[in-house]
Structure 1
Amino acid sequence: MTVLKSALTLALLASTASAAVKLPAVTCPGDARCTFKSDRGAYGTIGEGIPFSLGGFTDRIGSGFVSEADNALYLPFETGGQLDNRGAIMKVDLATGNRTLISGTIDEMDARGAGLAYTSDRGNKAQAWDLGNVYTVRPGPAGSVYALVDKLGEARSEILKVDLKTGNRTIVWASKLADDATSSSVADSIQNVEARLGVTSANVNSCERVKPFLTFEVDPKNGDLLLPTRRGLARVTPGKGCVWVSKWDGDVSVAGSGPVPAYNVVQGSTLVGREVTTISGPGNTGLYAVNVDTGERRILSFLNSSTPARSKGKGDVYIGFLGAHAFGKSLFLTTGYTSQQGFAATTVNAAGDRTVIEGKGSLSTGRSSDMSVVAAIPGTDKFIVWYEKALHVFDPATGMGYVLSQ
């Protein structure tokens, strides 16, 4: 298909340039950014642009990435948590905290870019490929961003390519063909329009209808999509189908080698070298890795409360309950949970040891199920976290946090 076909050569936004990311010049305590204010009047005061608090109870930020090339954070922003077309990709300037709408619909006032125009099965004009329920964004080819959208349940998962210059969206992959009862009788039905672009059952999904968890990665070698699923890690070559990198059936390995993860739900993923790392929970909470070339599986960190000797790494803290994780220069940051202390930022080192970090500065009241990790700051062990509808820069070495954008 024209939007799926070409062999991709990634010019990733996540540049490997040696220039350090520029952040606000903040010294805590003392700077205004070191104190977080959650009253309504505070939103929109740190950084310019559309605020992250729009009055919706479930406004949320998903997993994003930092582009060194333009000193910016790209992130998915879901507004309202409804199964509608409202959701967006935002760009945050790391030096100022200024917010820019890249693509999608915030509300009646703010929208940018377009998807696919078609005729619905009721004969109405409609538009597909929206960003409602967007969960994860990753750098795509040639100055683009890829975004995973999932309406949940039996609805299809989509990975969309977003043009940063226009905000326009095209489809890269979907878990199944679009549902449309009038596909054979209406020329501009979604199935007919997508079929003309080459979206057919042969190249949409050949891995037995894979439906990924709410995350994905992009292989920088060739632009393939790497999809963590309940049955393993799938590799999708856009326009050409899908193969299993690593697969299991229950606790039996089918492809790849190593321990079989006891997934309940994968909360997030990140690509570290040639491994896709996934964090799962609740239930069998842990941090796992799959080599994208060989399919070899590893357990990186796991707390076995019933048989502590079978744990991987030290620390009486569960990980994998809330949202994504990210990898910095030498460690992971995620959200951990202890029955005595509740939720808190938690690091995982190379040995798999889990350590709860008490927040200071803007995160001094940061023990909350609202906290999630958005991205790592390249070349450092500092991270950007989402807490109380604002973005904070967090340094686990000191526990200090300050508001980046609110």
Structure 2
Amino acid sequence: MTLTPRLSLRTQAAALPRVALHTFAVLATALFSGCFLTGDDAPPTINDRSSPYYDRSCILTQFVEHRSDLQADCRCFTNQAPASGIDLCKRPYNLSLDGISVGDGPTIAGLHQAEYFGGFLDEDEGTEGTVYVSGGYGPSLDRSGVIMRVDVATGDRTVVLERGPFDGPSWNGLPEFWRNVGYVFDVQPGPGNLLYAFAEDSYNQNIQILAVDRDTGDVTLMWTTNGLGSEPVDYGFCETLESPYRLQITKTGFAVDDEGRVYLPFANPTQGRGIVRLSADFRECEVVTGNGVAEATRGTGPYIGGFIQGFTFHDGLLYAFSTGPKQFFSVDLGTGDRTLLAEPDGVTPTERWAVWDEPRQVWWLAGMSNGVSIDAFDPVTGESTDIFNGGVFPWMPLGAAGPIQINSLNYAPIWLRENGNLLVAQDGFSIVEYEPSSGNSIVRSL
């Protein structure tokens, strides 16, 4: 299956002839929902009289006291209504069912089991930044991976990688088709112009790390958790002396440091749980922190169980979650010592993504299985609240509204913009922007 572009709202609008004013009024919602998203300049906000949504703001208190700088005011039901509302305010899933897209370019919306899994925001690329988002689609025996480049200003999408194949040795003589890339669980900046993708192969679903050229999309296999058939390849597997098995790498965490070293989680009842680090040349593997058999034990601190996931760096430390029990903790990369920041059972139910917000001095914590939660957590006071509960922090006076309200986030990623807004992967295949200062949110790309 190949991604195919849809006609976006703005493309459809450009192709329509001029109509009488009374006819235009009927079509206004459909036309205006995306037609202003093109161009090199940022689209007008609802505070700009040139905005098509200037006269569609919500209640006066919101408009005056909690002004929004987004393109539409999605905080009232009238603008979210399926028939008469603004498309940027509607749930992305419903827009997809109607064949509507936001931004131009290929989309995974509507494909079987399509979902965004991870990625990063590059604020230096594009007028308002670029999101590199990883994902996948397709049935379990024929999974397809994808990396998309999403322009934050326009919502436009381009494909960096779709399925493969990747360069590497053959697997027991399997044809090239079986060496395609399966789900891409995360993508992060690598050395130079490379992206490092944390993925699986589409045949055996073995975890692997791929180097992807940002410009050409060329893919090279750098590391894998399993042998390539009978061919001896020095990939530096993570093994323990007391066990004949390699450490069981899981798909729940991925990070790349400034030296090009890669951090991965491991979890197995026999060997223990923790975090391993692969050397920059992918030839060596060492345990950074963990508890279990002797070779998998390093550092002191709280016991970590379940899955280890959600890696991020801040102030020279690595931060992560554990799921059994639920904990949010930091890791000293020199000693492996772990420091507990929060036990989410009592603070936040999230367990997958952590983003540090320097101006507000809080962590944004997100991602949970079969549920929705995006929480702000103050590590000094221990105070926390989710985005749907306004007033706990002065900079978040209102609960979140708009398309983010019905948010099937699950483990999907979040990103923090320099303007203080969050970008959230919603309904599996869209990106929504949330503005904490107003509680407003809009669909950015679909």
How high is the TM-score relative to the length of structure 1?
0.73
Corresponding position of 2:103: 47
Aligned to 1:62, the other structure's residue is in SS state strand
Q: Counterparts of 1:337 and 1:45 in 2: how far apart (Å)?
A: 27
- Distance of aligned partners of 1:337 and 1:145 in 2 relative to their CA distance in 1, 3 Å threshold: closer
Q: What letter matches 2:385 in structure 1?
A: T
Q: What letter matches 1:346 in structure 2?
A: D
Q: What letter matches 2:256 in structure 1?
A: V
In terms of fraction of residues, the more strand-rich structure is 1
* Counterpart pick for 2:199 among 133, 137, 149: 149
Q: What letter matches 1:126 in structure 2?
A: E
Q: Counterparts of 2:377 and 2:203 in 1: how far apart (Å)?
A: 32
Conserved 8 A contact 1:138-1:217: yes
Q: What letter matches 2:387 in structure 1?
A: I
* Counterpart pick for 1:211 among 238, 248, 251: 248
Aligned to 1:40, the other structure's residue is in SS state helix
User: Aligned-pair distance for 1:146?
Assistant: 0.5
- Distance of aligned partners of 1:61 and 1:337 in 2 relative to their CA distance in 1, 3 Å threshold: closer
* Counterpart pick for 1:100 among 145, 154, 158: 158
Q: Counterparts of 2:415 and 2:318 in 1: how far apart (Å)?
A: 15
Q: What letter matches 1:357 in structure 2?
A: I
Does the alignment pair 1:296 with 2:340?
no
In terms of fraction of residues, the more helix-rich structure is 2
Q: CA RMSD in A?
A: 3.3
Aligned to 1:33, the other structure's residue is in SS state helix
* Counterpart pick for 2:263 among 194, 218, 226: 226
Conserved 8 A contact 1:328-1:376: no
Q: Deviations over 1:305-329 (max 9, x none)?
A: xxxxxx5xxx4x4222xx4343333
Gaps of 5+ in 1: 1-21, 106-112, 184-190, 305-310
Corresponding position of 2:79: none
Conserved 8 A contact 1:62-1:324: no
Aligned to 1:319, the other structure's residue is in SS state coil
- Distance of aligned partners of 1:257 and 1:376 in 2 relative to their CA distance in 1, 3 Å threshold: same
Conserved 8 A contact 2:274-2:308: no
Q: Counterparts of 2:439 and 2:295 in 1: how far apart (Å)?
A: 41
Does the alignment pair 1:319 with 2:383?
no
Q: Deviations over 1:120-174 (max 9, x none)?
A: 53x5532566331210111111111111113699853211110122212112222
Corresponding position of 1:33: 88
* Counterpart pick for 1:264 among 271, 296, 306: 306
Aligned to 1:210, the other structure's residue is in SS state coil
Does the alignment pair 1:115 with 2:149?
no
Q: Counterparts of 1:267 and 1:153 in 2: how far apart (Å)?
A: 24
- Distance of aligned partners of 1:392 and 1:232 in 2 relative to their CA distance in 1, 3 Å threshold: same
Q: Deviations over 1:155-206 (max 9, x none)?
A: 532111101222121122222322x2xx3xxxxxxx2xxx5xxx326x3445
Corresponding position of 1:14: none
Among the aligned pairs, what percent are the same residue? 23
- Distance of aligned partners of 1:286 and 1:380 in 2 relative to their CA distance in 1, 3 Å threshold: farther
Q: Counterparts of 2:369 and 2:211 in 1: how far apart (Å)?
A: 39
- 1:125-204 map, 5 Å: 125-126=175-176, 130-150=180-200, 156-178=206-228, 180=229, 183=230, 191=231, 195=232, 199-200=233-234, 203-204=236-237
Q: Counterparts of 2:208 and 2:319 in 1: how far apart (Å)?
A: 21
- Say which is worse superposed, 88-97 or 236-245, in terms of deviation: 236-245
Q: Deviations over 1:277-296 (max 9, x none)?
A: 22233x52221221223312
Aligned residues: 340
Aligned to 1:63, the other structure's residue is in SS state strand
Higher relative contact order (CA 8 A, sep 6+): 1
Q: Counterparts of 1:42 and 1:23 in 2: how far apart (Å)?
A: 26
Aligned to 2:118, the other structure's residue is in SS state coil
Corresponding position of 2:114: 59
